[in-house]
Chain A
Amino acid sequence: MLRGKAFKFGDGISTDHIIPGRHAHLRSNLPELAKHVLEDADPTFVSRVKEGDFIVAGNNFGLGSSREHAPLVIKMAGVSAILAKSVARIFFRNAINLGLPVLICDTDGINDGDELEVDLSAGIVKDVTSGQKLTFGKIPQVMLRILDEGGLIPYIKKHGDFKL
């Protein structure tokens, strides 16, 4: 069971919002890079987010660049899962590859600051603040296996190859 607070974002949060190109010189210094996570969408995010919290977004979260640094700095900030109405393809795959769950559900009813509980295996999000319960779409089997191993690199380290 994952537990934490919702940080609400709108539609079309791009990888440039998450970690802009102007910080590319910090990409081999991840702790420094992570200080800038989402700063162009909400400059206060990084100082307020706590271990276990959730990003709750609208449509097409993570569109744009293939930079895996985007889900990486989100994970480093302590975020335990991303809930969105829809997510861009490369970002989705990158997040799962890093062991960061991305859950597709109707996020309209969740408000900024709500306390959430997520049961990954049951596929249920409970908004403790409002009492509302949501179900989220199934993660494809192949990605679930990668997620179960904690990401693609641990998966390959263990299996040496794709076992689909």
Chain B
Amino acid sequence: MGKTLAEKILSARSGNNARAGDIVIAQVDLVFVQDTTGPLTVRQFQKSGLKKLAKPERTAVFIDHAVPSPTHTLSNDHLVLRRFAGETGAMLSDVGEGVCHQLVAESLARPGDVIVASDSHTVTAGGLGAFATGMGSSDVAVAMGLGKTWFRVPESIRITVAGKFQKGVSAKDLILHLIGRLGADGATYKALEFGGDSIKEISMSQRFTIANMAVEAGAKAGVFPADELTRDYLSEQGRGTDYQPVFPDADAVYEQTMQIDLNNLEPTVAKPHTVDNVALARELKGTKIQQVFIGTCTNGRLDDLEIAAEILKGKKRYSGTRLIVAPASRQVLMASLEKGYLQTLIAAGATVLPPGCGPCLGLHQGALGDEEACLSTSNRNFKGRMGNPRGFVYLGSPATAAATALAGEITDPREVM
């Protein structure tokens, strides 16, 4: 009987024949924290009696959520993290480098790795063929000290993709469509495993978008095979030697199989206040939007800014709609400057923020006013998410976001392309 991607990776890292439902202790290849959950992780680590990091060179501290710091209390939290990194030898990624998940994808995650971190969107690295999952501060503190953690090996739902994305449609539409079908708890405790004939139609950046949102269906992980696209991406990032092929067995056993035909997908939007509350963008025409946000670990990469720039080139945002752009990393920022995308977006009326989470979690910058609505390329639209329980967050692709910024109301991007 063959194995799923999750079973294969957890077997290799636990030294056991890991099967869905088993409890295993697995070696952890990379562990990280960010600045809103990191200080509690540091406190738990100190309380645990564990003295040292198991693998300082594979432990990372990211300061990305509140950057630059908006309050002195958060500045003090940043100090705690810088001190911890200095004392333990962990890697430190400081203000302005970018969102942890993007930096992990660019520089740290490897196919076949087990990755845990105190952020639920750790699942993003599944785009590279890693088994990556979010945990709380106590679990992450212990994983830092022991270099391992326990897992219940998840059942997997196989998502088979066929066809080709049509114009104006991208990974964000796929994953919103899928979450709409599964529901916000449809994959709780499970892994989503992507495959099928058209897996090569999904670029690495798009794979990160899809894996990133696996957790919005409750999944423990969203995993892609590590194929030629993965190999090419790692070479482009100057770390070709990190590549190893990772594929599921042909006779792996899945709890359920679902098909997605890319040809049939349309621009899709999640309405307030849950991610599984999806509709087609064209059905929401007329919904007034006061703020558009393009960025985050979901859709703040170069191709995301490219499509937005393409749509907004030579045009101006609607006067009543603010447009905020935050590149996901310094690498994305530099490349989008070189390509001229940022200049185009600024000319169209965008406000550009430094690499980081920006307004995504409602901590600072871009907070909504009462009854205001935002169309965001991020991954969550829960009540209160963008700093105000009386605000409304709609989620969509960068193309939908750009089209919406032009019109001032939710707009199917195919209308303006």
Residues of A participating in the B interface, judged by any CB pair closer than 8 Å: 12, 14, 16-17, 20-22, 24-29, 40, 59-60, 63-69, 71-72, 86, 88-90, 93-94, 97-98, 140-142, 151-153, 156-157, 160-162, 164
Contacts and interface: CB of A to CB of B under 8 A. Distances in A.
A89 B218 contact: yes
Contact of A24 (B36, B49, B120, B189): B36
Interface centre among A65, A67, A71, A86 (most CB of B within 10 A): A65
Please name the 4 residue pairs, one residue from A and one from B, whose CB atoms are nearest each other, closest first: A68-B136, A94-B136, A21-B361, A60-B185
A24 B406 CA distance: 33
A28 B42 CA distance: 11
B48 A156 contact: yes
A60 B388 CA distance: 22
A68 B138 contact: yes
Interface string B262-304: 0000000000001000000000000000000000000000000
B363 A22 contact: yes
Interface stretch (B3-11, B145-153, B234-242, B245-253): B145-153
A142 B40 contact: no
Interface centre among A12, A26, A72, A89 (most CB of B within 10 A): A89
A90 B330 CA distance: 30
B19 to A, nearest CB: 16
18 contacts: A24-B361, A25-B66, A25-B71, A25-B363, A26-B73, A60-B188, A64-B380, A65-B361, A68-B37, A71-B136, A72-B40, A88-B185, A90-B136, A93-B135, A98-B138, A153-B141, A156-B50, A162-B149
Contact of B148 (A63, A97, A162): A162
A164 B218 contact: no
B245 to A, nearest CB: 29
B148 to A, nearest CB: 7
Given A25-B71, A25-B74, A153-B44, 6 more contacts: A20-B362, A21-B36, A21-B363, A25-B66, A63-B218, A153-B141
B340 interface: no
B135 A151 contact: no
Interface in B6-56: 23, 25, 36-37, 39-40, 44, 47-50
A5 B220 CA distance: 33
A65 B77 CA distance: 19
B387 interface: yes
A126 to B, nearest CB: 28
B369 interface: no
B184 interface: yes
Contacts of A14: 380, 382-383
A151 B389 CA distance: 32
A28 B136 contact: no
Contacts of A27: 36, 39-40, 77
B229 interface: no
Nearest to B36: A24
Given A64-B382, A66-B120, A93 B80 contact: no
Contacts of A93: 135-136, 139
Contacts of B145: 156
Contacts of B39: 27-28
Given A22-B367, A25-B74, A153-B47, A66 B37 contact: yes
Contacts of A60: 184-185, 188, 218
A152 B189 CA distance: 20
Given A65-B120, A66-B136, A153-B138, A86 B40 contact: no
Nearest to A67: B37
Given A26-B73, A40-B389, A59-B185, A151 B218 contact: no
B387 A21 contact: yes
A68 B73 contact: no
Interface centre among B36, B189, B382, B383 (most CB of A within 10 A): B382
Given A16-B383, A24-B363, A40-B383, A162 B274 contact: no
A24 B119 contact: no
B77 A90 contact: no
Interface in B113-154: 118-120, 122, 134-139, 141-142, 145-146, 148-150, 152
A72 to B, nearest CB: 8
Contact of A16 (B36, B80, B382): B382
Contacts of B110: none
A97 B146 contact: no
Nearest to B146: A161
B138 A89 contact: no
Contacts of A140: 23, 152
Nearest to A20: B384
Interface string B81-124: 00000000000000000000000000000000000001110100
Interface string B166-189: 000000000000000000110011
B40 A68 contact: yes
Interface centre among A24, A29, A157 (most CB of B within 10 A): A24
Nearest to A71: B136
A66 B411 CA distance: 33
Contacts of B383: 14, 16-17, 40
